[in-house]
Amino acid sequence: MPISYTGVVGEHTAVRERVGVFDVSHLGKVLVTGSGAAEFVNSSLSNDLRRIGPGQAQYTLCCAEDGGVVDDLIAYLASEDEVFLIPNAANSADVARRLRDAAPPGVNVQDQHQEHAVFAVQGPLSGAVLAAEELPAEMAYMAFADVPWPALSDAKIRVCRTGYTGERGYELVVPWEHAAAALTRLVDTISEHGGQPAGLGARDTLRTEMGYPLHGHELSPGITPLEARCGWAIGWKKAQFWGRDALLRSKDEGLSRQLWGLRAKGRGVLRADLPVRHENKVIGTCTSGTFSPTLKAGIALALLDTTAGVDAGTEVTVDVRGRDMPCEVVRPPFVTPKTQ
């Protein structure tokens, strides 16, 4: 996936205002099948699959026993005996290995990374693009359907009302042998709707504006879901999931740090790993930072000490190459999309 095709700002704006397509085929694909597959996944990953039914997807976390995050991923519940998982690329093999090592007899875990391509069609006009391709557009958020794609000789694909931009959007899981033809069609169709292909740079600016965590930055083996404000993705009433005991202890004892947003009050771009100060004391570190094309301002996500007494509206400074940049603490998201 390139950083950009024609420029990050233009690609970002196309997704916020019209439509864009991302080739995210680098994402992992793991299929869990067999008698009790859904129950096994539910006893392993953080969120509660019982909150959804077949044909629905769910954001969830693969945690280590100490509560750190091995990866965040989307689980697609096809049936009690089939769950399809999309982890991040770098962690896909580790997630598959952990599930395979823990799987009971009769449950099969397959790493299908090279069997599917994934394309994300995102933006206010994404529904019109799918309708033009005779694919289902009127779907509830986090729903999915397996359908034939008429333009690809009725090849069976999975259409998911999911995405990582905050805008209305869909992710298409396509058999690998149809990947090139599928992407060519999508590029042509979004172009007819004023859209364009988008790369990794726009993907990062879009998700940062929404405050969405990125593994390796806001989530990691050293950063827990609670610290990253992802406690909503934990099924606290479940009897079992990886990391449950450690996360319950952390919940009861309280947090020493938590994720906040920062918006620069002057000119400049915030970046990851920059120290954050309040009242002449270092109180945290930026985990991600970028220039927001929507706000025309520097924004960042940062882990801040809970004892520092900061809240939304507090002014802090970020050390940018020896210069103190004034920033306002905000609770993400930074922007509110018009359509979701």
Q: What is the pLDDT of residues 169-199, one digit of tens each?
A: 999 999 999 999 999 999 999 999 999 999 9
pLDDT of residue 50: 97
Query: Within the chain, which residues score under 70 in pLDDT?
Result: 338-340
Q: Is residue 195 within 8 Å of residue 125, measured between CB atoms?
A: yes
**Which CATH number is 19's domain given?**
3.30.1360.120
On whether both 141 and 19 belong to a single domain, the answer is yes
On whether both 89 and 131 belong to a single domain, the answer is no
On whether both 158 and 289 belong to a single domain, the answer is no
On whether both 17 and 140 belong to a single domain, the answer is yes
Question: Looking at 207, 228, 248, which one is the last position of a domain?
Answer: 207
Please state the domain count of the chain.
Answer: 3
Quote the tokens at residue 289.
Answer: 């930072």
pLDDT of residue 321: 87
pLDDT of residue 1: 83
Cα 98 from Cα 267, distance rounded (Å): 45
Q: Report yes or no on 339 lying in a domain.
A: no
pLDDT of residue 337: 80
Mean pLDDT, the chain, whole residue set? 97
Cα 33 from Cα 69, distance rounded (Å): 24
On whether both 93 and 130 belong to a single domain, the answer is no
What is the tens place of the pLDDT at every residue in 83-124? 999 999 999 999 999 999 999 999 999 999 999 999 999 999
On whether both 19 and 39 belong to a single domain, the answer is no
Q: Write out the DSSP string of 229-287.
A: T-GGGS-TT-S--TTHHHHHHHHHH--SEEEEEEEESSS----TT-EEEETTEEEEEEE
Q: Which residues constitute the domain of residue 89?
A: 30-111
pLDDT of residue 237: 96
**What share of the chain has pLDDT > 70, as a percent?**
99
**Which CATH number is 65's domain given?**
3.30.70.1400
pLDDT of residue 340: 63
Quote the tokens at residue 169.
Answer: 């959007």
Q: Report yes or no on 226 lying in a domain.
A: no
